[in-house]
Amino acid sequence: MSDLNAKLLRQECEQQGLEWRVEVADEIPSTNDALRQAAAAGAPHGQVLFAESQSAGRGRRDNRWISSRGRDLIVSFLLRPAASMSLWPRITTLAALGVCHAIEEELPLRPTIKWPNDVYVNGRKVCGLLAETVHSPAGQALILGIGLNVNSHEFPPTLAETATSLLQAMPAGVQVRELDRQALALQLLKALSVQLGRLENGFEEAVQEVRQRAWLTGKQIRATADGLEIFGRVLDLDHEGHLQLALPDGSVRILSSADNVRQVI
């Protein structure tokens, strides 16, 4: 397994006019935590921190995020979008789309988006997103964390049925022992730059693309919304990327966020 080459990523960003300033840490507790601290200390928009390994990687709902050292992509972006904060929730939707584009540019896979913030391949999770806002005297920032399983082949027993990696998801017949994390990292930097550019203009078109890859559409789901368990059939996403859920009583509920979203078989 070769390490990510920060120098090459920085060169490519410069050549391609991408706004990112890339660092690669070897081992770090959490890239999101590191950039939260940097944001509070006034670091500007565009800082990107990859890590080869995290000792205290965090997922949503205080879950741990476990990645295999040197095998996956662990990265956080420090964003200070110029757009109104009311639009910042769109960033997760755009980032999920960016992850799909990056994967598709590089590999013969067709990722889907499991609302609100997971990317799936072959019906299993390959990527989770964690967006966190930072309020400090240095201003508001958003830290976008991405954990993408690239070459891992072992998952904790609780995830064994639901998680996969890009390598494991490759079509049968494609002989490959290791996927190129450096190439994927560069695709991710490019795709995130393009998609985040749609925060104010072009968001509805982005949602249209997300709809075409929406893993939950048509499925019966359970989820936790506003602290309550909810059950229904997913109809679609609305123009804001919110989930339209048909409830058993025939009414339709729009969810702007939810936790623990799972398909009911």
* Residues at the interface with ligand BTN (CB under 6 A): 30-32, 54, 57-60, 63, 65, 74-76, 118, 128-130, 145-147
The least distance separating ligand BTN from the CB of residue 188, rounded to whole angstroms, comes to 12
Q: CA separation (Å) from 58 to 27, 67, 122?
A: 14, 11, 24
The least distance separating ligand BTN from the CB of residue 185, rounded to whole angstroms, comes to 13
Q: Which is nearer to ligand BTN, 225 or 235 (CB)?
A: 225
Q: Which is nearer to ligand BTN, 158 or 201 (CB)?
A: 158
The least distance separating ligand BTN from the CB of residue 249, rounded to whole angstroms, comes to 31
Decide the pairing of beta strands 118-121 and 228-237.
unpaired
What's the CA gap between 26 and 125, in Å, rounded? 25
Q: Which long-range contacts (CB under 8 A, 24 or more apart) does 58-64 make?
A: 58/30, 58/32, 58/33, 58/130, 58/145, 59/128, 59/130, 59/147, 60/117, 60/128, 60/130, 60/259, 61/259, 61/260
Sorted by sequence, the CB contacts under 8 Å of residue 87 that are 6+ apart come out as 81, 199, 200, 203
The least distance separating ligand BTN from the CB of residue 60, rounded to whole angstroms, comes to 4
The least distance separating ligand BTN from the CB of residue 246, rounded to whole angstroms, comes to 26
Q: Which is nearer to ligand BTN, 1 or 252 (CB)?
A: 1
Asked whether the beta carbons of 35 and 132 are under 8 A apart, the reply is no
Q: Which is nearer to ligand BTN, 3 or 205 (CB)?
A: 3
Instruction: Tell me the two tokens of residue 13.
Output: 């960003």
Instruction: Tell me the two tokens of residue 40.
Output: 């509070």
What's the CA gap between 207 and 165, in Å, rounded? 25
The least distance separating ligand BTN from the CB of residue 81, rounded to whole angstroms, comes to 19
Q: Which is nearer to ligand BTN, 59 or 70 (CB)?
A: 59
Sorted by sequence, the CB contacts under 8 Å of residue 120 that are 6+ apart come out as 111, 112, 113, 114, 126, 215
Q: Which is nearer to ligand BTN, 160 or 174 (CB)?
A: 160
Q: Which is nearer to ligand BTN, 159 or 246 (CB)?
A: 159
Q: Which residue is nearest to ligand BTN (CB)?
A: 128
| Residue whose pair of structure tokens reads 């201003």 in the numeric block | 139
**What are the residues facing 135 on neighbouring strands?**
140
The least distance separating ligand BTN from the CB of residue 128, rounded to whole angstroms, comes to 2
Asked whether the beta carbons of 20 and 46 are under 8 A apart, the reply is yes
